[in-house]
Structure 1
């Protein structure tokens, strides 16, 4: 059968052409055995990247004041721990059935000072008559 050698010859010609080698064909002749030399480039050199030193900074400790239930978040300057912790301690003495807020108000303390006293005393829920997490609103009015 001549079909098999002819298709093998055509496959060889196509393979050589695909590799970019010149192909010589002779019309109406039987295919002659051909030899092709394919030179492959040398094995590529693989170079690994130069190792780099990565410096990871040591973790930093961040202290966050624990959230107290009932304490509303606020951006007021007097509500900042750095401020109210620096305030002098106010010793509240109950007299005449007054609440601590009424006692502070009657003695001329500002709302900021009352807030500091509330924070320094551990944020007692009883100081917020409205239950919204802000102290002394009945004595000082809405301050937030």
Structure 2
């Protein structure tokens, strides 16, 4: 009986957490719509994805509404300049190959957000996500 209650509690906590994340996505999309940016977004496709560290904790959210890809880091993520340089090198090579444009928002050593424009297909999205995910996993596991 005690384990059933514990499982139910965990299920409900997970459900509440997922609903909060979904609400954040809708609030973000509404803010885009209200800012007048929405007409430049092609199509109605949009996804919310997560980057987790090795312990399974969410370290970043990925909002992808083609052609815009936004990676928003959760909490305070102090990342050394070596990892920020590695992020820049990955994105610079994609800038040359795939004609993307990007911006890395850093406040001192705290990485806040990565915005990438002109991500027009799922192959490019997955390629960028995999590269950024591997660097963020390493950078936040220290």
| TM-score (norm. length: structure 2) | 0.22
Of Structure 1 and Structure 2, the greater strand share is in: 2
Of Structure 1 and Structure 2, the greater helix share is in: 2
| TM-score (norm. length: structure 1) | 0.22
